[in-house]
Amino acid sequence: MSVPGAALREALVAAARQLDALGLNRGTAGNVSVRCAGAGADADGYLITPTGMPPISIGAADVVVMPIDGDAPVDAASRRPSSEWRFHRDLYRARRDAGAIVHTHSPFATTLACLGRDIPPFHYMVARAGGRDIRCAAYATFGTQALSDAAVAAMSDRRACLLARHGMIALGRDLEAALALAVEVESLAEVYWRALAVGEPGCLPDDEMDRVAAQFRDYGQPSARR
């Protein structure tokens, strides 16, 4: 069995620390994972941050290797994985386009999630999350299969969602893309929150959001498209 390389472990740790530095997570909140090969004899897996450790304390050796088709670390002597490993596993199973997943308790996204609000198409950049809106998944206890099921449903045809009374999830083809989308969703959540302080903002029509989504498919430089 091959072992995921040190470079990927370091990149995962760096992403977790960047979320903390950007204020998207604080303390031990949130988690990050990245898909990898070599997490089992015949299957891919994923690396995930350990539970209950602030990013500043996490080193490459603390990163946990998990199989896609299992529920226990590949190495029985490793750290315990994030309590939210289930929705990471299930999203990788459901979404071949998911190369990395970011989960945050960022303040504005979490505020909307505590209100049970979707983020509607009040701004064209909502389409960066893959659709006409950013859904808020139904509430379920953290770390449970029920929460994973709710998250997978809310992420259908989307790259981001809110989790009711909890936080936010974003996925991308790699760590850079997932982190960038998490930043974008938090920014949209902040603008929407501020707009709600004045009144209920209007929404762009479905046909316009579809045009915007089509534009985003070819947006950016070829090597950096997300």
**Residues designated as active site:** 84
Q: Which amino acid does the sequence have at 134?
A: I
Strands 136-137 and 160-163: parallel
Instruction: State both tokens at 200.
Output: 């209920």
Query: DSSP secondary-structure letter at 49?
Result: P
DSSP, residue by residue, 2-27: ----HHHHHHHHHHHHHHHHTTS--T
- CA angle at 3 for the pair 42 and 13, rounded to the nearest 5°: 120
Q: What is the C-alpha to C-alpha distance for residues 66 and 69, in angstroms, rounded to an integer?
A: 9
Q: Which amino acid does the sequence have at 77?
A: A
Residues 113, 185, 125, 121, Cα dihedral to 10°:
-10
Strands 45-48 and 100-104: unpaired
- CA angle at 162 for the pair 49 and 8, rounded to the nearest 5°: 25
